[in-house]
Amino acid sequence: MTRAAVVGCGDVSVVHLQAVAKLDGAELVGVCDTDPGRAAEAAERYGVPAFHDHRELLAAVRPDVVHVCTPHDRHTPVAIDCLDAGVAVLVEKPVAHTVAEADRLIAAAHRNPGVKAGICLQNRYNATSRAVRELLASGELGAVRGGSATVLWHRDPAYYRARPWRGIRARSGGGVLINQAIHTLDLMQWLLGDVVRVRGHTGRYAHDDDIDVEDTASVILDHAGGARSVVLATVANAADSPVTIEVVTARAVLLIRGDLTVHHADGRVETVAEPAAGPGGRGYWGASHELLIADFYRALPGPDPFWISPHEGARSLRLIQQVYDLAEGR
């Protein structure tokens, strides 16, 4: 049995705990949170001991894998302690709250090459994302001309009051780009290719009295192959609208909005359905956390690094940092 533990018992830990419970050959052996109430609630629900310090958890239950679901600024310290103890880590996005901290985690992963480290960019496992990547790689749709994406969501002041670190730059690393749109930015560079130039703007328009991070951003990405993509993101929308990703090629227009629709230049239309999210998580998280987590566990015995490593996971964070630097005149 692979012994698993979860550090950080906030909102997103639910999908990790449920995924571990469904895995054959995996056993949850402990949970940890600095908030005693959250730790106790998770411990009671899953029948495991609770801890308030991840180092105590490592010493007491000796897990094989730790899922890091803490606030952003605690990702790197917890993950490095695990790696140095020989314990595999699966870290929720973002890889870290700053590029400097991401680089520290990357260095720790290199220092411990026999210990797996993965980052939860689970939207790469979406059926629609994978279908787009395969279609573009096949060449049958012709050259990629460009793309666009929107993340139009709603967050009210209560969202930030419930978890104050979300609206504090020093702890979260940023706002809508790092907390909501990072998955979409990751998909744009994964689908359209390496990014060679970044431009963008950020602003705070709906939450000026509540937070010190951006609630709205616009980003333009120039990709190595010559394509350009545009990403618009906000949490000032009236509702959580479906994320959209559109890719324009010489022979088709591909649109992800829930499902994938491919409009071919010859009039044909194809669709690829995206499975609905299961119970326990939020609908906009999708259904792919379980796929990524299961894949990570399958990779544990092998010699190769997990394909969404800290180095790979930091690619989208570096794009975001460039936008922040531009916004601050750096």
What is the set of domains in the chain, with CATH numbers?
2-122 (3.40.50.720), 127-279 (3.30.360.10)
Predicted confidence at residue 180, as pLDDT, reads: 97
Report whether 254 contacts 138 (CB < 8 A): no
Q: Which two tokens stand for residue 206?
A: 């709906």
Local structure of 88: helix, strand or coil: strand
How many residues can be counted in the chain?
A: 330
Mean pLDDT throughout 98-122?
98
Q: In Å, what is the CA distance from 61 to each residue of 34, 57, 72?
A: 17, 6, 24
Q: Which two tokens stand for residue 165?
A: 């670190």
| CB atoms near residue 139 (< 10 Å) | 9
Q: Which two tokens stand for residue 179?
A: 């907390």
In the DSSP assignment, the letter for residue 243 is P
Q: In Å, what is the CA distance from 92 to each residue of 44, 201, 225?
A: 23, 26, 30
Mean pLDDT throughout 92-114?
98
Tokens 């104050």 sit on residue: 164
Task: Return the percentage of the chain with pLDDT > 90, whole number.
Answer: 94
Q: What is the pLDDT of residues 34-46, one digit of tens each?
A: 999 999 999 999 9
With 60 as the cut, is the pLDDT of residue 231 above it? Answer: yes
Q: What is the pLDDT of residues 170-205, one digit of tens each?
A: 999 999 999 999 999 999 999 999 999 999 999 999
CA 40 from centroid of its chain's CA atoms: 26
Q: In Å, what is the CA distance from 189 to each residue of 74, 118, 205?
A: 26, 18, 27
With 70 as the cut, is the pLDDT of residue 4 above it? Answer: yes
Report whether 52 contacts 34 (CB < 8 A): yes
Q: What is the pLDDT of residues 258-288, one digit of tens each?
A: 999 999 999 999 999 999 876 655 556 668 9
Report whether 92 contacts 68 (CB < 8 A): yes
Predicted confidence at residue 192, as pLDDT, reads: 98
Report whether 85 contacts 56 (CB < 8 A): no
Mean pLDDT throughout 85-109?
98
Q: In Å, what is the CA distance from 64 to each residue of 6, 192, 267, 274, 279?
A: 11, 36, 52, 32, 27
Q: What is the mean pLDDT of the chain?
A: 96
